[in-house]
């Protein structure tokens, strides 16, 4: 009986401890949010302080910075007046027989020679004079394709795959792995100070690909396969013509026979018509295959098809963003700011050393 009051006080003590624990928890959460807000506030204060210091820097050196921009603008304007103009020319090609990698390798080689200013080697590669080769500043190639061409390439790609692989591949996955070498058309660009040199080097670029023995072998085998396929299609057309003539002869003879009573064999007539209709359909299929074969022969007539030639004269490279009037003031301004920062840093280090 004496222990009963002590048992009644136990729930009150438990409730009191729970309230204390909840209060401490809310205090910890409050302190956490306070630290977070203080941290965010310190970041904004630091950014604001940096902006103010930058504005003070501009205010202190405003005249010097404006002078640098003006001098850079005047210098850039004079540089644009006396600089040698550059001309750009473009040619669109279609590589066949997996020759696209060789094309990119050759163009990179020509570009390396131009960057190294090796006019002698460049003149030998392009079969032009050394002076004309010295005018070439850059040679590069990039893919030339749009969404429709990518869809056609995807359609041709999945036709060569088995059913299981096609189910596991979609257009989005194909685009992720699509690169410049997979494109059908490629654009070769030449930048030079001579506006006519691009047209002169076109034969050498095409010849460098067409002279490869491996690609010549691939083209010869492809031509032989096309000729063989055309021969088979023509032979099948001849056989279809013979069968059609045979069916017509049989029908004529059947029609000339005297009718025995009123018996007419409709089943045989229907069967003959179905066979003749099947031959007509097969003949149409073979004609379409021959058309596709001729189209492929035209597309594969050269190792490197030239879709669009280099123009007779290149187009002068212009534009404000590429001119010295734009580049020079920015360069002068950046150099001036760096020099002022170094000077201020040097002054700060001297004062720090004294203190």
End-to-end CA distance of the chain: 81
Other Cβ atoms less than 10 A from the Cβ of 135: the count is 21
What element of type H or E holds 87? strand 87-95
Instruction: Compute the distance between CA of residue 138 and CA of residue 268 in angstroms, rounded to an integer.
Output: 76
pLDDT at 16: 55
Consecutive 10-residue runs of the chain (355 residues): their mean pLDDT? 48 54 77 87 90 88 91 87 88 93 95 94 94 95 75 70 66 68 89 94 94 92 93 90 80 67 51 72 89 90 93 85 83 91 84 78
pLDDT at 227: 93
89: burial class by Cβ within 10 Å (0-12, 13-18, 19+)?
buried
pLDDT at 229: 93
pLDDT at 1: 41
Residue ranges covered by each domain of the chain: 218-254+266-301
pLDDT at 354: 78
pTM beyond cutoff 0.95:
no
pLDDT at 2: 45
């Amino acid at each position: 009986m004496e222990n009963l009051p002590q048992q009644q006080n136990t729930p009150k003590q438990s409730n009191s401890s729970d309230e204390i624990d909840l209060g401490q928890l809310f205090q910890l959460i409050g302190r956490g949010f306070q630290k977070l807000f203080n941290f965010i506030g310190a970041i904004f204060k630091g950014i604001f302080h940096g902006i103010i210091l930058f504005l003070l820097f501009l205010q202190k050196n405003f005249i010097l910075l404006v002078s640098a921009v003006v001098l850079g603008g005047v210098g850039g304007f004079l540089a644009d007046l006396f600089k040698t103009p550059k001309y750009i020319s473009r040619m669109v090609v279609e590589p066949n027989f997996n020759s696209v990698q060789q094309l990119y390798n050759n163009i990179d080689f020509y570009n390396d020679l131009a960057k190294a200013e090796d006019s002698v080697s460049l003149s030998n590669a392009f079969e032009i004079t050394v002076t004309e080769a010295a005018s070439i500043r850059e040679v590069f190639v990039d893919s030339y394709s749009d969404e429709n061409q990518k869809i056609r390439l995807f359609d041709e790609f999945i036709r060569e795959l088995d059913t299981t692989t096609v189910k596991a591949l979609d257009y989005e996955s194909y685009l992720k792995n699509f690169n410049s070498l997979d494109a059908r058309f490629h654009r070769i660009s030449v930048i030079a100070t001579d506006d006519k040199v691009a047209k002169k080097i076109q034969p050498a670029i095409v010849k460098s690909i067409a002279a490869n023995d491996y690609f010549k072998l691939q083209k010869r085998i492809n031509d032989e396969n096309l000729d063989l396929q055309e021969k088979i299609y023509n032979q099948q057309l001849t056989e279809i013509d013979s069968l059609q003539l045979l069916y017509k002869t049989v029908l004529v003879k059947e029609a000339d026979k005297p009718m025995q009573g009123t018996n007419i064999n409709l089943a045989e007539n229907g069967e003959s018509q179905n066979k003749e209709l099947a031959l007509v359909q097969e003949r149409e299929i073979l004609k379409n295959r021959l058309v596709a074969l001729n189209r492929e022969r035209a597309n594969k007539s050269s190792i490197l098809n030239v879709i669009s030639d280099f123009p007779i004269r290149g187009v002068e490279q212009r534009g404000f963003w590429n001119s010295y009037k734009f580049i020079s003031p920015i360069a002068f301004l950046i150099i001036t700011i760096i020099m002022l920062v170094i000077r201020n840093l040097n002054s700060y280090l001297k004062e720090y050393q004294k203190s």
